[in-house]
């Protein structure tokens, strides 16, 4: 489907390997396959984020992360929007770029952190993302698709926004905990 095509009439479809490989936006939005997990794709995407962060952080300094995170948000907005449009779903569970970019930001902001604080951040982030308490629930509801509305940039931003809020809540708790324990 061309990028400018009307997607309002697209019947919802399930993401699979063939779908992921059909478009670069799909590969990114689906977390390079982690979003295809049959169980808890958001958790699989967050685990992929953690592993890839540990690998990338060996070569990327603060300046590179400072550039990569905003770039990842902008490219992710495009990828998540296009992928949602092509799937015919406003916020498919298989789209996990939102978890990836948000958890990269969490890990970067709490650094330096050993394995135990990173694990705690992972658990907190997953709780905030899955349970959607308080501000995360508000962020999740803020950009929902209205009846009869086509999937657009607003929904693409909404896919990212609630995970960014979940990440911010995670960072606040982690930094508060660090301040209380030191």
Indicate whether 165 belongs to any domain.
yes
What domain range includes position 85?
Answer: 62-181
**Residue 76 near residue 98 (C-beta atoms within 8 A):** yes
**Residue 163 near residue 139 (C-beta atoms within 8 A):** no
Residue appearing with tokens 């658990």: 123
State the total domains in the chain: 1
Indicate whether 75 belongs to any domain.
yes
Indicate whether 37 belongs to any domain.
no
Identify the residue with better confidence: 41 or 145. Answer: 41
Q: Is the pTM of this model over 0.75?
A: yes
**How far is Cα 69 from Cα 73, in angstroms, rounded to an integer?**
6
Residues contacting residue 67 through CB under 8 Å, at least 6 positions apart: none
Instruction: Report whether the peptide linkage leading into residue 112 is cis, meaning its omega lies within 30 degrees of zero.
Output: yes
Question: How does pLDDT run across 42-100, given as a tens digit for each residue?
Answer: 999 999 999 999 999 999 999 999 999 999 999 999 999 999 999 999 999 999 999 99
Indicate whether 147 belongs to any domain.
yes
pLDDT at 1: 47
Indicate whether 4 belongs to any domain.
no
**10 pLDDT above the threshold of 70:** no
Indicate whether 46 belongs to any domain.
no
Question: How does pLDDT run across 51-63, given as a tens digit for each residue?
Answer: 999 999 999 999 9
């Amino acid at each position: 489907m061309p990028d400018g095509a009307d997607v309002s009439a697209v019947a919802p479809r399930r993401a699979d390997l063939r779908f992921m490989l059909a478009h670069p936006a799909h590969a990114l939005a689906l977390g390079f396959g982690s979003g295809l997990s049959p169980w808890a794709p958001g958790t699989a995407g967050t685990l992929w984020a953690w592993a890839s962060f540990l690998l990338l952080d060996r070569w990327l300094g603060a300046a590179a992360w400072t550039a990569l995170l905003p770039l990842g948000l902008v490219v992710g907005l495009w990828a998540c929007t296009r992928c949602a449009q092509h799937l015919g779903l406003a916020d498919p569970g298989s789209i996990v770029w939102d978890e990836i970019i948000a958890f990269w930001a969490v890990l970067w902001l709490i650094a330096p952190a050993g394995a135990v604080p990173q694990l705690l951040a992972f658990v907190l982030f997953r709780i905030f993302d899955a349970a959607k308490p308080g501000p995360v629930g508000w962020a999740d509801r803020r950009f929902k698709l209205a009846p009869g509305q086509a999937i657009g940039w607003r929904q693409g931003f909404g896919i990212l926004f609630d995970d960014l809020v979940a990440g911010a809540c995670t960072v606040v708790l982690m930094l508060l905990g660090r301040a209380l324990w030191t």
